[in-house]
Amino acid sequence: MRRHNLAAVLDRLHISGEMSRSQLAEQTGLNRSTIRDLIAELTVLGLVAEGRGATTSGPGRPSSVARAKPSGAVVLAVELEVDSMAMATVGLGGHIFDKVRIANTGGPQQPSQAVARLAQLAGPLLDALPADHTFAGVGVAVAGVVRRQDGFVHVAPNLEWSNVPLADMIGAELGFDRVMMANEADLGALAEYRRGTNGGKRHLIFVAGEVGVGIGIIYDGKPMLGTAGYAGEAGHTKINPEGRECRCGATGCWETEVGEEALARLSGFSADSARAGLIDEVLRRAHSGDPEIYNALGQIGRWLGVGIGNLINTFNPDLVVIGGFFQELYPFLEQALLDSAQETALTAPWLSCSIRRSELGIDSSLIGASELVLAEVIASPGEFATSIRRVASGTGKDLLAGRPASGP
C-alpha cells in the first residue's frame, strides 16, 4: 500500500510539475499527513525536493510546493530510425538536460555500426550531466518488431535488421545494466498519452510516418501491445491490392502508399532522397506553392485518411495523434486526410474521435523511450533507490564501468 502511495505521489509530480501538499491530497485522495510523510520519504530517496512556490496559500504566506527532482533519476533516451538517430538525457519530471539528433545519410547501418555511433553520441551527453545525478538506465525506441522483455529485435524491415539482440549489444557497449527497448510508435503513443496534451482522452492511437509507418495504441489508459507485444504494425496492413511491393515481401501495404519512399516517388525525387533532406525540400516547395508537391501531398493525405478511417472503425478511439513526418507536413495533408478518413469511417465512431497533430513534434518516440524507464522508477521508488545504493557500495555491477570516453 505504501509503495502504491509513493508511486501515486511521484507520478503526479512527474507529470504535473510542482504541486502543493493540498493539491496532491486532492488529486490522490490521500490525507495531508500521509502526503507529508510520503514527500518526506521521496525526499530522502532523492527523487523529490520541496521549496517555495510561486503562489500564496494564505495572507502573504508563500505555499510550500513539492517537485520531482530531475537529477534524482536520469535516463539516456535513444531513438533509432532508418534516416536519423536521436538521443536525449531526460530526468524525472520530463526535464531534458541535453538532446542531439543526427541524420544518417548513407542508408541503413549494420546493428554494430549503429551501436558504435550511439556510444559516440552518448559520451558527451552523459559527461554533461550534473555531478549529483542518479542514472536510471537506457530507453531505446526502434523502428521494428521488438520483444520488450529482453530488447530483442525480431525484424526491422526498413533498417534491414533481423534477429538482433540489440539491448544486450547496447548494454555491453555502454557498460549499463538496464537497457529497456520498445517499438518507436508504441513509445510515441506512450509519450503522447503521458506528456502530450491529450485532454484526458483514454483511447488514443498514435500514427507515425518515417520510412515505414507504425501505430501505437493506448486502450483505456494502457498500452495495447497484443499477445506477444507486436501489435501496431498497421504499416503492413494491405490497403491497395493493386499497389507496390513492400519491403516486408507483401504487396500494397499502407506504408507503400504513405511512407517516405511514396512521398519521394510522388514528388519526383529519387528513392535514395528519402534518406536525407526530403522532408525539408518537400516543405520548402509546398510553401512556394509547387503544384507537383501539392498533388503528391494530396495523394499521401488521402491514403493516410483511408488507413486512419479503418483504424477509427476498428478501435473506436477518442483521439488520433499524427506524428513523425506526417506531423511536419500536416498543414498540407490535413484536408485530404480528414476528407478521406470521414468517408472511410462510420458516422458514430467518426463523431466520437478527434484527429490532432502531435504537439511533441518529431520527439514523441524519444520522449516515450525516457518514459519507459522512468515508469519503472516511479512504480517502485524505494526499490530503485536501494538498487542504486547497492551499485554505489560496490555490491552490484558498476553502472559506469566501460563507459566510452568522450572527446575528439
Grid cell digits, residue 352: 466520437
- Of 173-181, 240-248, 292-300, 359-367, the window that binds Zn ion (rule: CB under 5 A) is 240-248
- Residue 246 sits in the site that holds Zn ion (CB under 5 A): yes
How near is the Cβ of 252 to Zn ion at its closest, in Å? 8
Give 11 or 257: the residue with its C-beta nearer to Zn ion: 257
Helix (H) or strand (E) holding 156: strand 152-156
Residue 181, strand partner residues: 140
Per CB under 5 A, which of residues 377..406 are in contact with Zn ion? none
- Residue 236 sits in the site that holds Zn ion (CB under 5 A): yes
Give 11 or 210: the residue with its C-beta nearer to Zn ion: 210
Sign of CA dihedral 293, 294, 295, 298: positive
Classify residue 219 by its DSSP letter: E
The CA angle 241-246-250, to the nearest 5 degrees, is 55
Classify burial at 222, counting beta carbons within 10 Å of its beta carbon; exposed 0-12, middle 13-18, buried 19 or more: exposed
How near is the Cβ of 106 to Zn ion at its closest, in Å? 23
Task: State how far the Cα of 189 lies from the Cα of 182, in Å rounded to an integer.
Answer: 11
Grid cell digits, residue 91: 530526468
Give 252 or 298: the residue with its C-beta nearer to Zn ion: 252
Give 53 or 243: the residue with its C-beta nearer to Zn ion: 243
How near is the Cβ of 237 to Zn ion at its closest, in Å? 8
- Of 47-55, 104-112, 191-199, 232-240, the window that binds Zn ion (rule: CB under 5 A) is 232-240
- Residue 248 sits in the site that holds Zn ion (CB under 5 A): yes
Please work out the total of residues on this chain that contact Zn ion, with binding judged by CB under 5 A.
Answer: 5
Backbone angles phi, psi at 396, to 5 degrees: -115, 180
| Per-residue b or e along 325-347, where b marks 16 or more CB atoms closer than 10 Å to that residue's CB | bbbbbbebbbebbeebbbebbee
- Of 212-220, 239-247, 311-319, 331-339, the window that binds Zn ion (rule: CB under 5 A) is 239-247
- Of 85-93, 181-189, 249-257, 387-395, the window that binds Zn ion (rule: CB under 5 A) is 249-257
Give 118 or 253: the residue with its C-beta nearer to Zn ion: 253
- Residue 145 sits in the site that holds Zn ion (CB under 5 A): no
Per CB under 5 A, which of residues 326..355 are in contact with Zn ion? none
How near is the Cβ of 301 to Zn ion at its closest, in Å? 20
How near is the Cβ of 225 to Zn ion at its closest, in Å? 20
Helix (H) or strand (E) holding 199: none
Give 85 or 143: the residue with its C-beta nearer to Zn ion: 143
Task: State how far the Cα of 164 lies from the Cα of 185, in Å rounded to an integer.
Answer: 19
Query: For residue 72, what are the contacts with CB-CB under 8 A and spacing of at least 6?
Result: 45, 46, 47, 48, 91, 92, 133, 134
How near is the Cβ of 156 to Zn ion at its closest, in Å? 13
How near is the Cβ of 250 to Zn ion at its closest, in Å? 5
- Residue 211 sits in the site that holds Zn ion (CB under 5 A): no
- Of 24-32, 134-142, 201-209, 251-259, the window that binds Zn ion (rule: CB under 5 A) is 251-259
Task: State how far the Cα of 26 lies from the Cα of 4, in Å rounded to an integer.
Answer: 16
- Strand bridging mode 179-183 / 135-142: parallel
DSSP for 89-150, please give it. Answer: EEEGGGEEEEEEEEE--SSPPPHHHHHHHHHHHHHHHHHTS-TT--EEEEEEEESSEEETTT
The CA angle 388-189-254, to the nearest 5 degrees, is 135
- Residue 215 sits in the site that holds Zn ion (CB under 5 A): no
Give 145 or 179: the residue with its C-beta nearer to Zn ion: 145
How near is the Cβ of 219 to Zn ion at its closest, in Å? 24
How near is the Cβ of 304 to Zn ion at its closest, in Å? 16
Which of 7, 65, 114, 253 is in the footprint of Zn ion by CB under 5 A? 253
How near is the Cβ of 244 to Zn ion at its closest, in Å? 10
- The site for Zn ion (CB under 5 A) is made up of 236, 246, 248, 250, 253
